[in-house]
Amino acid sequence: MLLRETLSCDMNKNMVEIGNIIEGTVDRIEPYGLFLNHAGGKVVVLGPEVSWHDHRNLRDRFKIRDVLRVLVLRYNYKDDVYVGSIRRLHPELNPYRDLSRLRPGTVLQGKVTSLAGDEVTVALPNGAFGHVPKYRAPSHWARGQMVPVVITALEVDEGRLWLDAAESYPNKTVNGSTETKEKQAAN
């Protein structure tokens, strides 16, 4: 059978197109995500894709039979389930979008929330959080401490943020002006 014929046959199976917005009914709530039913198909929304800001227990926020709008991100062929996002329906609430508007090297203040594995997790006041590789973080950083950081990489729609300790960043922006290592050494 040709690919075109195969695709034509499969299109009749009520496949949902990636990128579509669908409605699904919650039929299971787990600590790690929501399971919904859409036209007989399974949809999962994992915890991080539920909300940009509200990180309360999912069982406190949703009920079985709630009807939710979901953006379809991909299809997991192995498990026969659509993977979706609720938070991406609300880009105006995305705290990472604000960060994308900052000048490179802008120093931000964040709170260390975790020192696990090979990274230090830092929460920013706007609700975003990012990671500093442990080898780049000063040894005196501790959980709960406010620390100066700069953005090294950012994926806005994915909500992924990589940071560096401001003191080890070569060109940082403080109060609107760029400081180079040479300028910092002269001070």
Domains: count for the chain: 2
Residue range(s) defining the domain that contains residue 101: 95-172
Are residue 165 and residue 117 in the same domain, yes or no?
A: yes
Cα–Cα distance measured from residue 128 to residue 29, given in angstroms and rounded to the nearest whole number: 25
pLDDT of 21-32, one tens digit each? 999 999 999 999
87 and 110 together in one domain: no
What are the tens digits of pLDDT across the range 117-160? 999 999 999 999 999 999 999 999 999 999 999 999 999 999 99
Which alpha helices (DSSP H) does 27-174 contain, by range? Answer: 58-61, 95-99
Tell whether 26 is covered by a domain.
yes
Question: Rounded to an integer, what distance in angstroms lies between the CA atom of residue 126 and that of residue 38?
Answer: 34
Among residues 91, 125, 152, the one where a domain terminates is 91
Reply yes or no on whether the pLDDT at 36 is more than 70.
Answer: yes
